[in-house]
Every structure is written in structure tokens, then in C-alpha cells.
Chain A
Amino acid sequence: MRIHLFIACYNDTLFPRTGMAVVNLLERLGHEVVFPLAQTCCGQMHYNTGYHQEAMPLVKRLMEEFRDAETIVVPSASCVAMMRDHYELMAHNANDARMMEEVKDFLPRVFEFSELITDKLGLTDVGAYFPHKVTYHPSCHSLRLLHVGDRPIRLLNGVEGLQYTPMEGADQCCGFGGTFAVKNAEVSSAMLTDKITCVRKTSAEFVAALDNSCLMQIDGGLHRESGGRGTEGRIRPVHLAEILNSTKANPLTAESLAWDEVSA
């Protein structure tokens, strides 16, 4: 299958590993990945912060970039939620019939990463190997807007050697919330403290999710707590795609996810 990748601007800039994992995994499964180079952003940051006018051209150009794509994968649940929840509404509010048609044509071709693997490719076992204890944080947008349900858990359980351990208070927000994390930084970090307590209780080595944004929040909190001292016992946040891309031949290691502790 020919699969177009929308990487999401923040993954592109901050979390390239996730994109590489998606590409390598899909190629390993025998698919061809296309990355349209002119893609940038889905408009979520602007739209959710109230900059609706500024979000509009971003939405339009994204749909234009993927006009010919048959299947689009997005390793960011919140970006997919932006598309499914707001694109139609934006077209409606702008009274733009042509845009509405484009949105209706675009949306059925979009798959969040775990949806692509389970629904479109029909897989729960992708031949991955990851002999570690892993917990899962269902990001709010994947849980309540996309309703991905147990798809990510089924995928985790399909990984050889992986020991999945559920998290208490899993449906509680980690406190990221886009610009909320900086506009209400203090409350955001109080929410994060609660989430980290739940993550720690699982005694997992890794915490997986479908959104690097939430993982960045958790990672930033865990690192701050540790005071940057040592890596022993540190829980590593990691995108589900990286776990599914881990094989016996090319295993994902905790060290590869470590912060660069040495002065640059």
C-alpha cells in the first residue's frame, strides 16, 4: 500500500524519531511511504488558542498537499482530532462550500497511527519485539475525540516480550493542553504531578502514548523531578510507533531515549 505521512510540525522539529519509526515500520510491513515535503502544520495550535483566521490557510494548504493521497497516516492523535472535529466546522462557519467538499473528501483518508495499523492494515501483531514493562497514557484527544479505545493496548499486547501494565487514573489529563501548558503553566504542572504519580505507581520502564506532546510534558516533568541526576530507574516516555518498530534485529533501547546529560 502507498501511504502518505503527515508528520505534524512538532514531531518534525522535536521528535523526528517517531517519524523515522513510522516509516521504517511501514516499510518493514511491505508498504511504500510518501512524505510530501511542502507539508507543515494542521492548524491546531492557532485554532485552539483562538487564532481562527490564522488557522484557515494552514488547513487549506494541508488538504491541498494531500489531495492525491489515498491513505494518510498521522502519528499524532490530537492533530487528527483537530481535523475531524474542526475542519468541517471551519468550512461551515466560513460558509465555504468548496472547502466543505474538500474536507469531506479528505477526512475518510486520514488515519491516526494506531487506527492505520489495526483498522486499515488489519494487524495487532506487527512482529515487534520489546522485552520491557510498559504502561500506556491514553491522551485525551485519542481517548475522547478519536475514541481509539483499546487499539493501542491490543497493539502493545501483540508485541513479543512486552509486559503491559495498566495505569491508575489513566483517563486523567497530563496537563499539556497545547498553549495551556504555557498560559497556565502552574496549573498545568500541578496536573502533571498527579499524572507522574500514576505513572510511577506502575513501576513500568516505559510510558507509551499516541501523542508526543503529552509525552513531552511527562518527560519534562520526570526529568525536572530527577534534577538531571543519573538515569537509573528513569521512566522513558516513548511513542507507540517506536515500540512497534523495535525488533530483535533492531531493538529500541532505553539508552537511545536518554537525554543528552553531557554538556553540549
Chain B
Amino acid sequence: MEQIRKQITEFITTNFLFDESITLGVEDSLLDTGVIDSTGVLELVAFIEETYGIKIEDEEIVPENLDSINNISLYISQKLSQLTADKAAN
């Protein structure tokens, strides 16, 4: 999970964090702090799908999964675990 958190932080810092006055904590809301907007969320989804090879369903694109670095990292970890379990079952 630490590796995922690091990759997500790097992606957000490179692509969205241009306001030097914002210090982003891992629990901070990306939408409320204005770091990410609606199009940014979609870019984040594209990055996650491409990087981790997972499919994010429309109904999973909710603030609970994608609104902080910690939530995103936890969500990806769970999706990857699920993917591994599904593969093992098949």
C-alpha cells in the first residue's frame, strides 16, 4: 500500500498541485481543497486504470473512494486484492 500511496502522491503532485501555498496531507479532501476538479477526477481514474490494470466502474467513482490520497490508495489495494482473488478462483 505504501508503494501505491507514493505513486498516487507523485501523480497528483505532478499533474494537479501547482499552488505552492497548498500543503497536501494524505487525508485531505482533494475536491474541497480545489486540488482536483471534475475533469481531474476523470484523469485520475484514467491513470489508475492504466497503471494498475483495473477497471473502475461508474458507480465506484465516488468521493469515498477517490477524494484523498489515503482513500485512493486503500481503494486500489482492495481492487488489486479482489483481482488476485478472482484470478485464483478461476
Chain B binds chain A: no
Residues of B within 8 A of A (CB): none
